[in-house]
Amino acid sequence: DTAVSQTPKYLVTQMGNDKSIKCEQNLGHDTMYWYKQDSKKFLKIMFSYNNKELIINETVPNRFSPKSPDKAHLNLHINSLELGDSAVYFCASNGGGETQYFGPGTRLLVL
Amino acid sequence: DAKTTQPNSMESNEEEPVHLPCNHSTISGTDYIHWYRQLPSQGPEYVIHGLTSNVNNRMASLAIAEDRKSSTLILHRATLRDAAVYYCILRLSDNNDMRFGAGTRLTVKP
């Protein structure tokens, strides 16, 4: 069984569009995260979400908004997509211990 | 910000041990040292973590310097499946954030 899953795996879209990436974890974890990995392979945390408390990395544009319908899901909505948003986005979860479990990634390409 | 410094790349021969170094000279007293690896086209995968003492698990060993300003991930017998980017990360004690660096790309030669 997949612990942390993301959909879609690939997303190709035009500049200016709005898109969402979905993340689900079946580990019963309380904390979920979104990371962005750019073309230089640097992984940067975007958000962490724990029991309805959202912690935002201050460098993330407000075009990005996480939405959590329930504890098992943390979706990422992106408005007015820009070329620079092209990257691989990873969802992760943590159950209070030291280990984060990452999803397989969503490869976003903005044309 | 606490940061880590790793070599960009390393090579190893299959079946030989690999020592992956990491410097973290600005580490705070309660920051944990984590290692993750990322195989091609996959998400990062937890390898090991520690605070002060050396740690062993089924995947690797972590040797932490006495002053905690550096650490070394040890793969005892590298296999081709160990080829990946290895990230040394500090989990900051004040906010639990994990700050990834550039990582070390490990190539394992048959």
pLDDT tens per residue, range A70-84: 889 999 999 999 999
State the Cα–Cα distance between residues A111 and B55, nearest whole angstrom. 46
| Chain A residues inside the 8 Å CB shell of B102 | 40-42
- Asked if residue A4 lies in contact with residue A102, where contact means CB atoms within 8 angstroms, the answer is yes
What does the CA dihedral A32, B52, B84, A39 come to, rounded to 10 degrees? 50
For residue B53, give the DSSP letter: S
pLDDT band at A52 (very low <50, low <70, confident <90, very high): confident
Distance from CA of B110 to the nearest CA of A (A): 26
Residue B56 identity: N
Question: Does the distance separating the beta carbons of A90 and B43 come in below 8 Å?
Answer: yes
- Which of B44, B45, B96 is opposite residue A43, by nearest beta carbon? B44
Q: Which two tokens stand for residue A51?
A: 């029991």
- Which of B41, B46, B99 is opposite residue A100, by nearest beta carbon? B46
Q: Which of residues 33-72 of B touch A (CB under 8 A)?
A: 34, 36, 41-46, 49
Question: Is B10's pLDDT higher than 60?
Answer: yes
State the Cα–Cα distance between residues A52 and B10, nearest whole angstrom. 42
- pLDDT computed for residue A55 by the predictor: 80
Question: Does the distance separating the beta carbons of B95 and A55 come in below 8 Å?
Answer: yes
Of B102, B100, B98, B35, nearest to B64 (Cα)?
B35
Highest mean pLDDT, choosing among A42-56, B50-64, B81-95: B50-64
State the Cα–Cα distance between residues B20 and B107, nearest whole angstrom. 12
How many CA atoms does the CB half-sphere of B43 hold within 13 Å? 24
Does B9 contact chain A (CB < 8 Å)? Answer: no
